[in-house]
């Protein structure tokens, strides 16, 4: 999954925890946004969402 994030333009890093089923994505907001990241994940068959604050 980390490799998928790294293919998205603007993603600097994206460590993934299999144990907690989460990823923390460091990205450049001028190049991408959370909705694009979620779409990239969902396109692979996995389910993703942006956590609510």
pLDDT at position 6: 76
Q: Whose CA is closest to 16, among 28, 25, 6?
A: 25
Q: So what's the architecture of 2-42 in CATH?
A: 2-Layer Sandwich (3.30)
Specify the pTM: 0.74
Q: What is the 3-state secondary structure (H, E, C) of the chain?
A: CHHHHHCCCCEEECCEECCCCEECCEECCCCCCHHHHHHHHHCCCCCCCCCCC
Residues 6-40 have pLDDT tens digits of: 788 999 998 989 899 888 899 999 999 999 999 98
The rounded distance, in Å, linking the Cα atoms of 2 and 5 is 5
């Amino acid at each position: 999954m980390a490799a998928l994030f790294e293919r998205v333009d603007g993603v600097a890093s994206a460590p993934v925890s299999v144990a907690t089923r989460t990823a923390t994505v460091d990205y450049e907001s001028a190049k991408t946004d959370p909705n694009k990241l979620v779409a990239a994940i969902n396109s692979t068959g996995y389910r993703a969402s942006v956590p609510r604050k």
